[in-house]
Amino acid sequence: MSEKPTGRGQLYYDAEHKRFDRQDDREVIPRKLIYAMYGLAGMTLLVTAGAVLTGRTPSGVAPVEPAVATHVVTITGNGDAARVEDADGTVLLDAENGAFVAVVRNGLDTVRYRHRVDGNPPVEITEWESGRMTLHDPATGWKMELSSFGRGNLNHFRRLFQ
């Protein structure tokens, strides 16, 4: 019977004889960081509760303002292509690369798929007095602030109605 080699560089290494190394047992996430994360979550909860209990007006809500115009349109297409028609069938956009309009259509298709909406009912695009534009899908109740994605993207929709 031959003995098993136990030294370094040998084919066999006996793990039971390995000495306990403190470096292998150190914490991966420092306790102070964990306490800070819980503290941040607790402070967020306190600030939110304080705002609710005092009746503070939410700051991220769009102001109430009059609508300048509301357009009822149908957005179709697939991939990058986008086609926008108004309620009487006039084509406002027919492009192989619909840019932001195609992105919005993809989002709209996703929401409609989740709500199991059949067909492609029209949506409402509202222009507000302050220059904001919103898209509302009556079939799902979904609303999207088109102004939130920057002036360049908003201009893709603005050009449809000029």
How far from the centroid of its chain's Cα atoms is residue 143's Cα? 14
Percent of the chain with pLDDT over 70: 83
Tell me the two tokens of residue 151: 């002036």
For residue range 130-151, list pLDDT tens digits in order: 989 999 999 999 999 998 888 9
- Please, which residues bridge with residue 136 across strands? 124, 143
For residue range 33-92, list pLDDT tens digits in order: 999 999 999 999 999 999 999 988 887 777 788 999 999 999 999 888 999 999 898 999
Q: Which amino acid is at 65?
A: E
Asked whether the beta carbons of 133 and 101 are under 8 A apart, the reply is: no
Global pTM reads 0.64
Q: Which amino acid is at 46?
A: L
Place of tokens 């102001």: 63
Cα(127)–Cα(124) distance, integer angstroms: 10
Whole-Å CA distances, 148 to 62, 72, 145, 152, 153 = 11, 20, 6, 11, 9
For residue range 5-34, list pLDDT tens digits in order: 555 555 555 566 655 555 555 668 889 999
